[in-house]
Amino acid sequence: MASHCSSYFLLSAIVAALLSWQAMASDPSPLQDFCVADKDSKVFVNGFVCKDPKDVNADDFFMAAKLDMPRDTKMSKVGSNVTLINAMRIPGLNTLGISLARIDYAPLGENPPHTHPRATEILTVLEGTLYVGFVTSNQDNKLFSKVLNKGDVFVFPQGLIHFQFNPSPYNPAVAIAALSSQNPGAITIANAVFRSKPPISDDVLAKAFQVDKKTVDWLQAQYWEDNHN
């Protein structure tokens, strides 16, 4: 009987630990109606310190973002422009676990392969057509892809490499993305690998990509653009 109780207690402790780890792995949940970010605070916390509720007003939850206006994609080498609205831009988003982005694609433009380490993304096409997809983790590295048209929706699971490409050589495309974090983060694969500071050793990259070091050196010498604004 004692052994049974001990085993039950151990199992309960393991389940509780797993559940608490899962809770800590996402954005912190609010313990009050809101926690408007106090970006002037010098205190360093996971997220932002709350502003005194007495000093909060409607503008803390508002931004004249003009998301109805097209963004410039002509200056982008990858042919896209990502406008992210997160807690840095709307303080009232702090602790609420959500952000938003408008993505403009030039003809044949793309949002290159990247990940969001802290968020799942759900993308809605507003105009045009997009070829989108994500790749699962090792060992399968399976590609899930789809051609989306206006009004279609697609989900990119948290942390997985994904992309969007406008296959039309004539027409631009526009999408809106919602992300499950106030600060989803973005790691563009090419930028992270070939534009790290300081650079990753070309010996490492040559072996990883199975190419010669001259090819790696050439890639590292390119200008790797950040299309996030």
Binding site membership: which residues? 111, 114, 116, 121, 162
String of DSSP letters for 4-26: HHHHHHHHHHHHHHHHHHHHHTS
108: left (phi over 0), alpha (psi -120 to 50) or beta: left
Q: Give the C-alpha separation, 93 to 35, whole Å.
A: 8
Q: Which residues are annotated as a binding site for oxalate?
A: 111, 116, 121
Cis, peptide link before residue 198, omega less than 30° from 0: yes
Residue owning tokens 């085993």: 7
Specify whether the CB–CB gap between 36 and 94 falls below 8 A: yes
Q: Which residues are annotated as a binding site for Mn(2+)?
A: 114, 116, 121, 162
